[in-house]
Amino acid sequence: MRRFVYCKVVLATSLMWVLVDVFLLLYFSECNKCDDKKERSLLPALRESTLKSRMERKRNK
């Protein structure tokens, strides 16, 4: 009986962490369909530098 309870606790906490991970991935992911993007990055400086490099590549084509 104790093993069943332990199994339920492990499964419940695992499911909770999966849901937290999915929420974080969706919240901090790139919005490719939006024109007015909100800045929600953990590293705004990194995003700015990658955005500049993308724009430079587009200009060079």
pLDDT tens per residue, range 10-26: 999 999 999 999 999 88
Higher pLDDT, 1 or 42: 1
Task: Quick: pLDDT tens for 22-53.
Answer: 999 888 877 655 655 565 656 666 666 666 77
Q: What is the model's pLDDT at position 27?
A: 83
Q: What is the model's pLDDT at position 14?
A: 97
Domain ranges of the chain: 2-28+41-60
b or e along 24-56 (b: 16 or more beta carbons within 10 Å of the residue's beta carbon)? eeeeeeeeeeeeeeeeeeeeeeeeeeeeeeeee
Q: How far apart are CA 14 and CA 30, in angstroms?
A: 26
pTM above the 0.85 mark?
Answer: no
